[in-house]
A and B are shown apart, each in its own frame.
Chain A
Amino acid sequence: ELKVEQNPLFLSMQEGKNYTIYCNYSTTSDRLYWYRQDPGKSLESLFVLLSNGAVKQEGRLMASLDTKARLSTLHITAAVHDLSATYFCAVEGYGGSQGNLIFGKGTKLSVKP
Chain B
Amino acid sequence: DAMVIQNPRYQVTQFGKPVTLSCSQTLNHNVMYWYQQKSSQAPKLLFHYYDKDFNNEADTPDNFQSRRPNTSFCFLDIRSPGLGDAAMYLCATSGAGVIRGAEAFFGQGTRLTVV
Contacts and interface: CB of A to CB of B under 8 A. Distances in A.
Interface of A: 30-31, 33, 35, 41-45, 48, 50, 88, 90, 92, 98-106, 108
Interface in B40-93: 40-45, 48, 50, 55, 90, 92
Nearest to A30: B101
B106 A48 contact: no
25 contacts: A30-B101, A31-B100, A33-B104, A43-B92, A43-B106, A44-B106, A45-B104, A50-B101, A92-B101, A98-B96, A98-B97, A99-B31, A99-B50, A99-B94, A99-B96, A99-B97, A100-B45, A100-B48, A101-B92, A101-B96, A101-B104, A102-B45, A103-B35, A105-B41, A105-B42
Interface of B: 31, 33, 35, 40-45, 48, 50, 55, 90, 92, 94, 96-97, 100-109
